[in-house]
Amino acid sequence: MSQLARVYIVAGEMSGDLLGASLMRALKARHPQVQFRGIGGPGMLAEGIDSRFPLETLSVMGLVEVLRHLPELIRVRRTLRADALAWRPDVMIGIDAPDFNLGLERQLREAGLTTVHYVSPTVWAWRQGRVKGIARSVDAMLTFLPFEAAFYERHRLPVAFVGHPLADELPLVSDRGGARTELGLAQDDPVLAVLPGSRANEIRFLGATFLDAAERLCRERPALQVVIPAATPLRREELESLLADRPLLAERITLLDGRARQAMVASDAVLLASGTAALEAMLCHRAMLVAYRMAPMTHWLARRLVKTEWISLPNLIARETLVPELIQDAATPEAIVAHIGPMLDDAERRGALEARFAEMHAGLQRNASARAAEAIEALVAGRPLPAPRSSEAGETSEDATAGRTVPRGRVGREER
């Protein structure tokens, strides 16, 4: 096995730092002498990266903020390009942060370095033409989810489906009883977890609707217990303000500071805003309803730009409607009650769905960091990527390219 000596890694935010730290550990297990350089946060620093800039340098959110910081971001990318080319790594890995990293990856690849992007942008959902630019930027894409791998296979871009780190983190058997005990909930009465979102706009558009639906469900089911995790202290204040006008619900709920995962494990059903929470609920093996509302203009644009049949990750992974989705005007208290009620009342239906989610969980539980390290090693050595077959990636494609040998970057260690 040829040894990796130098790896350049750029993470753009704390979630990328966690991924980067785990990937660095996996690479060090295979190549104990490997050195790391780029940008990382506390986790990656603890693993030994020589971070050229603080992680916060790239943690800029929002159009206005990005425009204001654009000159600095351009300077940072130019500096990283020069630094990487002078250091001559075996491979450069961009972790998420596609707006920054794909541009840097393209510059480095054009200069002869091997480049990898870890965490697929949502190119499969909207602006699919971006895949051409991605193909010019990277030698390989590492994806969390099987349908993402299938998308890149169809576009003949080398890809490895490595599994999802969250699936590795969560156990295949969840302890509902233990979670209820820890949250002070009755063991034999039904539990509904309500997650209206972590952003202010999500509470604004969904908070009252979710609470109205929960109150109706409580009136119909006197034994129902409702658990609502507040993502931040500010979200808790907003929820408490909404609950002030709902005395019945206020008496029946357990309002938590965080602990969303524990709330989901304790539940019989979950009502949540679309997003990563839906994947986490699936990995907790819980029946759920996904709803989402947004500003009317945003919804108008989304309907014209988004190309997917579903918005929730469980449905996208399964390629079928396992989870009801209520979007925009369809997300009413009446519609929510109509879907959640049968989930709470039908234990057999819940059990079948929980079993299906457990199977899907097992398919994503692949030791993602170790698989990512294996793929990176194979790419640099010029061996076939450990990419999935099309059937494993969730759909059939005549354009499947899994397992083909990918040429090494134009600058190898021996050429330094």
Q: What is the pLDDT of residue 186?
A: 95
Same structural domain for residues 148 and 176? Answer: no
Same structural domain for residues 61 and 180? Answer: no
Structural domains of the chain, count: 2
Q: What is the pLDDT of residues 46-98, one digit of tens each?
A: 999 999 998 878 765 434 444 566 788 889 999 999 999 999 999 999 998 88
Q: What is the pLDDT of residue 399?
A: 35
Same structural domain for residues 334 and 235? Answer: yes
In a domain, 227, yes or no: yes
Same structural domain for residues 352 and 391? Answer: no
Q: What is the pLDDT of residue 204?
A: 82
Q: What is the pLDDT of residues 188-199, one digit of tens each?
A: 999 999 998 877
Q: What is the DSSP letter of 62?
A: S
In a domain, 332, yes or no: yes
Mean pLDDT of 312-330: 88
Enclosing H/E stretch for 17: helix 14-30
Same structural domain for residues 155 and 208? Answer: no
Both tokens assigned to 411: 């600058």
Residue given tokens 């398919």 in the structure block: 363
What is the phi/psi pair of residue 291, to 5°? -135, 155
Contacts 24+ apart (CB under 8 A), 340-349: 340/192, 340/213, 340/217, 340/269, 340/271, 340/289, 341/217, 341/220, 343/268, 343/269, 343/287, 343/288, 343/289, 344/190, 344/192, 344/217, 344/221, 344/224, 344/268, 344/269, 349/287
Q: What is the pLDDT of residues 139-162, one digit of tens each?
A: 999 999 888 898 899 899 999 999
- Quote the CA–CA distance of 248 and 256 in Å, as a whole number: 18
Q: What is the pLDDT of residue 398?
A: 33
Check whether 201 has a pLDDT greater than 50.
yes
In a domain, 1, yes or no: no
Same structural domain for residues 193 and 303? Answer: yes
> Would you tell me the crossing angle of helices 130-137 and 98-110 to the nearest 10 degrees?
50
Same structural domain for residues 330 and 259? Answer: yes
Mean pLDDT of 203-212: 88
In a domain, 11, yes or no: yes
What is the radius of gyration, based on Cα positions, of the chain?
23
Other Cβ atoms less than 10 A from the Cβ of 334: the count is 9
Same structural domain for residues 158 and 287? Answer: no
Domain boundary among 326, 347, 364: 364
Same structural domain for residues 128 and 155? Answer: yes
Q: Which of 75-84, 125-134, 204-213, 317-326 has the highest mean pLDDT?
A: 75-84
- At 194, which CATH number? 3.40.50.2000
Residue 61's domain spans which residues? Answer: 6-163+366-415
- Cβ distance 119 to 96 under 8 Å? yes
In a domain, 351, yes or no: yes
Same structural domain for residues 176 and 278? Answer: yes
pTM for the predicted model, two decimal places: 0.74
Domain boundary among 327, 342, 364: 364
Q: What is the pLDDT of residues 214-255, one digit of tens each?
A: 999 999 999 999 999 998 888 899 999 998 888 888 888 899
Same structural domain for residues 182 and 292? Answer: yes
Q: What is the pLDDT of residue 391?
A: 42
Check whether 36 has a pLDDT greater than 60.
yes
Same structural domain for residues 191 and 326? Answer: yes
Q: What is the DSSP letter of 385?
A: P
Q: What is the pLDDT of residue 65?
A: 47
